[in-house]
């Protein structure tokens, strides 16, 4: 009795058209979030914490920054 786990016989190149745009969108989101954080670093609280969240939580971290982090500024 053989037990097979994983994707045996599935070609990596068949997933590339799906994975590549997702990776590109993730990288663009991270770069835009980091640029915005840098430009507004004097009015944001916890800049270093947000930078770590954006970088290490990847796409979800940059989305969290745009939803929550931009409200964290000292401006009203």
> Mind listing the pLDDT tens digit for each residue in 15-69?
888 889 999 999 999 999 999 999 988 888 889 999 999 999 988 998 888 888 8
Q: Helices (DSSP H) in the chain: which residue ranges? A: 16-39, 47-56, 58-67
For residue 30, the tally of other CB atoms under 10 A from its CB is 18
Q: How many CA atoms lie within 13 A of 15 on its CB side?
A: 8
What pTM does this model have?
Answer: 0.73
Delimit the domains of the chain by residue range: 35-71
**Ramachandran bin of 11, using left for φ above 0, alpha for ψ from -120 to 50, beta for the remaining angles:** beta
């Amino acid at each position: 009795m053989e037990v097979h786990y994983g994707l045996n016989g599935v070609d990596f190149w068949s997933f590339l058209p799906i994975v590549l745009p997702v990776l590109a969108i993730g990288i663009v989101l991270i770069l835009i979030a980091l640029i915005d954080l840098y430009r507004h670093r004097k009015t944001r609280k916890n800049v270093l914490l947000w930078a770590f969240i954006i970088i290490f939580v990847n796409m979800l971290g940059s989305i969290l920054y745009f939803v929550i982090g931009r409200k964290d500024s000292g401006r009203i």
